Amino acid sequence: MYFPKKKFLSACLMSMMAFAVSVLPAYAEEPAAVQTSESAAKDPDIYIFSSPQYGYTMLCPHRPVGVIPASMLYEDKKGDVVVFENDGYTLRHAWVILVDSFNTKDVPDFNKITEQEASDYLQKLMRSSAYEGISLVNLSENNKGVFGISAKEVEIDTNGDGVFDVTAKADTQEAVVFFRTEKGRCFTAHLIDNPELRTDSISAFQFGISSLQEMDSKAVQK
């Protein structure tokens, strides 16, 4: 795992209620007690979100105020933007769930790679992508994924000479998770939390994504 020693990122790691850090256990604390999917589904403050169009369900902290197509934010992508708070057309708090979102030939099976292979992959990803921190995590007892925080500042090589000569600053940051379901389908999830990522939002997002399950084929819209 490659997290700079910053208070914000340390707080994010400590908030991983439903996730277990698997690359550098020294960064992890004892997980807080978390509801199981079955008990959480009976909690009146928990909402079961279903997407018959894309064939999945997950637990949300409360009922969304709306759902829009993911293609409105990510061109040529399939999935849902589950909106919890908005200000007109500005999303304040939302989960973006992208389905069939990456090429399995380019992304290893996180459940089958060794710790060294995972470390090599994360280092490569950090070099090639705009992440401030990234780690391999346990979504469930039998399924792993990659969790990351997008970078606030990104260094750019504008002329291709191998030297970063421009620093671009992002207005906001996102938490991102990508993984295969236990049936092998590829999902990517983004947490939008404006104007700043909050640790309680990250915790709820992580628990929600860890609860994601594919629906029975009979319940999926054709």
Mean pLDDT of 73-98: 95
Structural domain boundaries of the chain?
Answer: 7-195
Does the pLDDT at position 30 exceed 60?
Answer: no
Range in 78-82, 151-155, 165-169, 194-198 the model is least confident about? 165-169
Binning the chain into helix, strand and coil, the percentages to the nearest 5 are 20, 35, 45
CA-nearest of 174, 184, 205, 175 to 109 is 184
- Where does the pLDDT of residue 169 fall: very low under 50, low under 70, confident under 90, or very high at 90 and above? confident
- Where does the pLDDT of residue 55 fall: very low under 50, low under 70, confident under 90, or very high at 90 and above? very high
Q: What is the pLDDT of residues 134-155, one digit of tens each?
A: 999 999 888 999 999 998 877 7
- In this prediction, residue 160 carries a pLDDT of 67
Contacts of 27 (CB under 8 A, 6+ apart): 1, 3, 10, 13, 21
Place of tokens 């997008």: 150
- In this prediction, residue 18 carries a pLDDT of 35
CA-nearest of 80, 82, 78 to 100 is 78
The segment with the largest mean pLDDT, out of 5-19, 31-45, 90-104, 115-129, is 90-104
CATH number of 7-195: 3.40.1000
- Please, what's the b/e burial string for 105-138 (b: 16 or more CB within 10 A of its CB; e: otherwise)? eebeebeeeeeeebbebbeeebeeeebbbbbbbb
Task: Report pTM.
Answer: 0.77
Mean pLDDT of 17-39: 34
**Could you please report the per-residue DSSP string of 46-87?**
-EEEEETTTTEEEEESS--SEEEEGGGTSTT-EEEEEEEEEE
Contacts of 94 (CB under 8 A, 6+ apart): 81, 82, 83, 84, 85, 86, 191, 192
Does the pLDDT at position 159 exceed 50?
Answer: yes
- Where does the pLDDT of residue 127 fall: very low under 50, low under 70, confident under 90, or very high at 90 and above? confident
Q: What is the pLDDT of residues 92-124, one digit of tens each?
A: 999 999 999 998 888 999 999 999 999 999 998
- In this prediction, residue 105 carries a pLDDT of 86
